Structure 1
Amino acid sequence: MALHVRHPIWLRQVRPAGARTFASLYTMESFARAMVASVIPIQAYEILQSEQAVSVLYTLVSLLGLSATLFMPVLIRRFARRWVYTAGALFLALGSLFFIVDTLAGQALGMLFRVVGSSALSITLNLYIMDHIRKTEFIRTESLRMAWSTFAWTGGPTLGILLYTHYGIYAAHGAVAVLVFILLAMFWYYRLSDNEMIVAGKNRALNPVSSIGRFIAQPRLRLAWLIAFGRSCYWTTFFVYGPLFMVIAGEGELAGGLLVSAGNILLFTAIFWGKAGKRYGARQVIGFAFAAMGLILFAAGWVSTTAPLITGAFLLCGAFFTIALDTLGSIVFMRSVRSYERSQMAAVYRTYLDFAELAPPLVYSIILVFFGVGSVFVTLGLLMVVCAVVSWRYVPRSM
Structure 2
Amino acid sequence: MVTQVRHPIWLPAVKPAGARTFATLYALESFARATITSVVPIQAYELLQNKQTVSLLYTLVALIGLSATLFMPMLIGRFSRRWIYTAGASLLAIGSLLFMTHSLPGQLLGMLSRVMGASALAITLNLYIMDNIRKTEIMQAESLRMAWSMIAWTGGPTLGVYLYTRYGIVAAQGLVVVFAAAQLAAFWHYRLGDNELIRPGKTRPANPLKNIGRFVSQPRLRLAWAIAFGRSCFWTTFFVYGPILMVVTGQGEMAGGLLVSAGNALLFAAIFWGKAGRRFGARNIITLAFFCMTAALLAAGFTGEKWPLATGGCLLLGALFTVALDALGSTAFMRAVRTYERPQMTAVYRTYLDLSELLPPLVYSVVLSFFGLGAVFCTLGVLTVTCGLLTWRFLPKSM
Q: Same fold (TM over 0.5)?
A: yes
Question: What residue in structure 2 maps to residue 72 of structure 1?
Answer: 72
Trace 1:127-146 onto structure 2 (pairs within 5 A).
127-146=127-146
After superposition, the C-alpha distances for 1:203-233 in whole angstroms (9 at most, x for unaligned) are 3452111111110010000000000000000
SS in 2 for 1:71: helix
What is the aligned partner in structure 2 of residue 107 from structure 1? 107
Whether 1:333 aligns to 2:330 is no
Q: CA RMSD of the aligned region, Å?
A: 1.5
Deviation at 1:146, TM superposition (A): 0.4
Which secondary structure does the structure 2 equivalent of 1:159 belong to?
A: helix
| Code of the aligned partner of 1:392 | W
The offset of 1:8, in angstroms, is 2.3
Q: Residue 250 of structure 2: SS of its match in structure 1?
A: coil
Is the CA contact 1:300–1:311 (under 8 Å) kept in the aligned structure 2?
yes
Distance 2:84 2:6 in 1: 34
* Residue 96 of structure 1: aligned partner: 96
Which segment drifts farther, 97-106 or 232-241?
97-106
2:270–2:324 contact (8 Å) kept in structure 1:
yes
Distance 1:335 1:345 in 2: 12
Residue identity opposite 2:10 in structure 1: P
**Partner in structure 2 of residue 16 of structure 1:** 16
Paired residue secondary structure (1:110): helix
Matched, 1:6 2:8: yes
Determine if contact 2:274/2:328 at 8 Å carries over to the other structure.
yes
The corresponding residue for 2:175 is 175
The residue number in structure 1 matching 2:217 is 217
State the one-letter code of the partner of 1:237.
Answer: T
Tell me, in whole angstroms, the C-alpha distance in 1 between the residues paired with 2:241 and 2:7.
60
> Letter of the aligned partner of 1:216 in structure 2?
V
Q: CA 1:306–1:211 in structure 2 vs 1: closer, same or farther (change >3 Å)?
A: same
Structure 1 length-normalised TM: 0.97
Q: In structure 1, what is the Cα distance between the partners aligned to 2:279 and 2:194?
A: 32
Aligned residue for 1:120?
Answer: 120
Residues 272-298 of structure 1, C-alpha deviation per residue, up to 9 Å, x if partnerless? Answer: 000000000000000010011111111
| Superposition deviation, residue 201 in structure 1 | 4.8
**Once the 2 structures are TM-superposed, how far is the Cα of residue 252 of structure 1 from its aligned partner?**
1.2
For the 8 Å contact 2:80–2:200, the answer to whether it is kept is no
Q: Which residue of 2 aligns with 1:227?
A: 227
Counterpart amino acid of residue 112 in structure 1: L
Change (3 A) 1:4 1:334: farther
Query: Does the C-alpha gap of structure 1 residues 196 and 71 become closer, same or farther in structure 2, counting only changes over 3 Å?
Result: farther
* Alpha-carbon displacement from aligned partner over 1:112-164 (angstroms, at most 9, x marks no partner): 00000000001000000000000111011000000000111111111111111
Instruction: Label 1:5 to 1:285 Cα distance change in 2 as closer, same or farther (>3 A).
Output: farther
Match of 1:291? Answer: 291
Question: What is the distance in 2 between the residues matched to 1:106 and 1:284?
Answer: 47
The whole-number CA distance in structure 2 between the counterparts of 1:269 and 1:260 is: 16
Distance in 2 between residues matched to 1:194 and 1:343, nearest whole Å: 18
Cα distance in 1 for residues equivalent to 2:200 and 2:155 = 43
Question: Residue 345 of structure 1 aligns with which residue?
Answer: 345
Distance in structure 2 (CA, Å) of the matches to 1:315 and 1:95: 32
Q: What is the SS of the residue equivalent to 1:261?
A: helix
- Structure 1 residue 393, shift from structure 2 partner: 0.4
Q: Is the 8 A contact 2:292 2:318 kept in 1?
A: yes
Q: What SS does the corresponding residue of 1:372 show, helix, strand or coil?
A: coil
Q: Which sits farther off after the overlay, 215-224 or 186-195?
A: 186-195
Cα distance in structure 2, aligned partners of 1:196 and 1:297: 47
Distance of aligned partners of 1:211 and 1:308 in 2 relative to their CA distance in 1, 3 Å threshold: same
8 Å contact from structure 1 (residues 87, 117) kept in 2 = yes
Structure 1 residue 198, shift from structure 2 partner: 6.9
> Which amino acid is the alignment partner of residue 151 of structure 1?
I
Q: 2: CA distance between counterparts of 1:355 and 1:381?
A: 18
The Cα offsets for residues 158-199 of structure 1, whole Å up to 9 and x where unpaired, read as 111111111100111111111111100000000014775776
Aligned length: 396
The offset of 1:254, in angstroms, is 1.1
Whether the aligned pair in 1 keeps the contact of 2:193 and 2:199 (CA below 8 Å) is no
1:249-286, Cα deviation, whole Å (9 max, x unpaired): 22111111110010011110000000000000000000
C-alpha separation in 2, matches of 1:361 and 1:210: 28
Paired amino acid for 1:378: C
Structure 1 CA distance for aligned equivalents of residues 322 and 6 of structure 2: 54
Taking the aligned partners of 1:192 and 1:235, their CA distance within structure 2 comes to: 31
Deviation of 1:7 (Å):
3.5
Please tell me whether the aligned partners of residues 131 and 195 of structure 1 are also in contact (alpha carbons under 8 angstroms): no
The amino acid across from 1:169 in the alignment is I
Alignment correspondent of 1:264? 264
Letter in 2 for 1:374: G
Amino acid at match of 1:293: M
Number of the residue aligned with 1:393: 393
Summarize deviations over 1:71-118 as a string: whole Å, max 9, x none.
101111111100000000000111011111111111011000000000
* Distance in structure 2 (CA, Å) of the matches to 1:6 and 1:15: 20
Show the counterpart of 1:318.
318
**Unpaired stretches in structure 1, ≥5 consecutive residues:** none
Q: Which residue of 2 aligns with 1:147?
A: 147
Alignment correspondent of 2:185? 185
